[in-house]
Amino acid sequence: MKDKSPLLIPLAFGLLLFAAALFMLPGSLGFSGANWRNASSGGPGNSDRLAGQNGNPSPPDTTTAAPGGGAGDPSAALMAELLRDLSNPEARKGEAVLTFESAEALKRFLARASQSGLKVLGTISSLNAVRVGFDDLTALRNDMRANPGDYTDAGGNFYVHIPGVPAAENRPTQAEVGFGDGALAFMGVRGDNSSWGKGVTIAILDSGVDALGTFGNRLRAIDIGQGLGGTGEVDGHGTAVAALAAGSAAGSTGTAPAANVLSIRVTGADGVSDIFTLAQGIKTAVDAGAQIVNISLGAYENSAVLTDMIAYAYQKGAVITAAGGNDTAASLTWPAADSRVVSVGSVDALGQQTSFSNSGQNLWVTAPGLELQTAWPGDKLVSFDGTSGSSPLVAGSIAALMSQVPGLTAQNAANLLAQYSADAGAAGRDPGFGYGTVDLGWAMNYNNQQYVDTSIASQYYRASEGLMDFVVQNRSGQPVSGLTLSVNAAGQSRDVSVPWLTPGARWTYTVPVDNAALAASGELQYSSRLRNPNGLVDQNPANNQRASAVIQTVK
């Protein structure tokens, strides 16, 4: 007998638009110093994010001596770690990434490298790090033995990939709706946003960006050894990503169409990058003045060099936005998995997590990521899927806030965006949606006390518990009382009084799912509608109703 399990399929969903919420001065918005500031509406808090490097997994304690090394060999542990990395198929063959104790130690190594049979492929002096190639590991082993005090880390140079999207037939059964050119409206962008992002630079670390008209004269590029790219079909990924962040032409307008774009190609001709090259790109972008660095690439392996470079960017005040990955995985790719990175997942036009979007405890926010209309080399428009598209929409949103709120830093803006994201899924932060789905309209109106937007944030089915949650959120700049939630649960209707809600506050009403009725009928319908009290004018009534079905499916 085949197993059966219920599946929630949203049928209709009001667009998550905008409103104002908790009073908070831009100067006090936590993405500064060592920790996030706690936020009463459920935004980022000290225990959640930016706790230095503590969010990163530590390498296993390896004490086994490397082949040919005795138990007393101080370099044995590092060599063992390197050998473990090199056995990983995701590590470049014949390469290592080395970190040294000091600038002097690095200088000594560079002076003797060629004589030792090692080829220096790249150097990051600020991290005392070097990428080396070798034909035989013996040369590196001998140098580590002879100079054990010089080394602090030795690891593989792992591949970094453009996230792939699973083939449609491999996705779970789910009714998904794409955006086309509707992503900005979904994010609460209304009216003229042509000045958003002005004066802010967004770096795109990708396959290069084609100099299309949608970027005007706001595009420049820096070559870090991979060429400039961006003009061929194989390089289209970077162009599509850049347009979602900062395109200005009709049909390919980004969230920050006035922002400057700095293109740094980090992929080779095969469309693949690596940890060391990515770290070089981050440093180049930050040193060139980029306040926001978008990385729509990922790897499932990390390294000390990438971790240290993320810290470098953070200390310089920059924000890294990164795609969470498209593997339907319960973990994020690196660098999105780092707690100091604004990691981004994907939703469809119904507000549900797309079937391919990765989940993870460090997920920051979600944004549109299905069938996004964007630019492509040759002045084409294409439909673009994946968290690769979600991440630049968030990068542009941060730039937009910086340009519209005087004195707001990139890190403050990232905090603000999370603080005023639209709750989704289970109430509060969760691995599938992070702090919520980006609602740029609400974030733009965070200090507008006259703005009113009450909403049904989500209609969330907890399959393991057999419960349906109806989550109400006040996205207004003022407290709201007198709301009524009308619920129809599998044919049973009821009206529920919603308690007084402060700006940004959430309230959840839960009903049990009748499993016997579900088994008998195969499908149960659920709908909800939120009614405002007389005299309260909701400036976004579209998000005041939802409908969904729990369907018994056969596995």
Q: Residues with catalytic annotation?
A: 206, 237, 388
Burial of 149 (0-12, 13-18, 19+ CB in 10 A): exposed
String of b and e for 497-520 (b: at least 16 CB within 10 Å)?
ebeebebbbbbbeebebbeeebee
Q: Name residue 473's amino acid.
A: Q
Report the Cα 96 to chain-centroid distance in Å.
28
User: Nearest to residue 473, comparing CAs of 456, 448, 459?
Assistant: 456
- CB neighbourhood size of 61 (10 A): 7
Distance CA 129, CA 489 (A): 60
User: For residues 132 and 98, is the Cβ–Cβ distance under 8 A?
Assistant: yes
Q: Name residue 20's amino acid.
A: A
SS3 content of the chain, % helix, strand, coil (to 5): 25, 30, 50
Distance CA 286, CA 293 (A): 8
User: Nearest to residue 227, comparing CAs of 197, 191, 267?
Assistant: 267
Helix (H, G, I), strand (E, B) or coil at 415: helix
Strands 380-384 and 454-462: what pairing?
unpaired
Tokens of 520: 């008998």
Q: Which residues, at least 6 apart from 183, have a Cβ–Cβ distance to it below 8 Å?
A: 244, 367, 368, 372, 373, 393
HSE-CB at 547 with a 13 A cutoff on CA atoms is 5
Helix (H, G, I), strand (E, B) or coil at 171: coil
String of b and e for 266-281 (b: at least 16 CB within 10 Å)?
bbeeebbbbbbbbbbb
Distance CA 546, CA 33 (A): 40
Tokens of 387: 């968290």
Q: Which residue has the tokens 């802010």?
A: 200
Distance CA 232, CA 244 (A): 18
What's the start-to-end Cα distance of the chain, in Å? 10
Peptide bond into 479 cis (omega under 30): no
Q: Which residues, at least 6 apart from 443, have a Cβ–Cβ distance to it below 8 Å?
A: 18, 397, 401, 416, 417, 419, 420, 421
Q: Which residue has the tokens 């990428």?
A: 131
Report the Cα 209 to chain-centroid distance in Å.
20
User: For residues 156 and 86, is the Cβ–Cβ distance under 8 A?
Assistant: yes
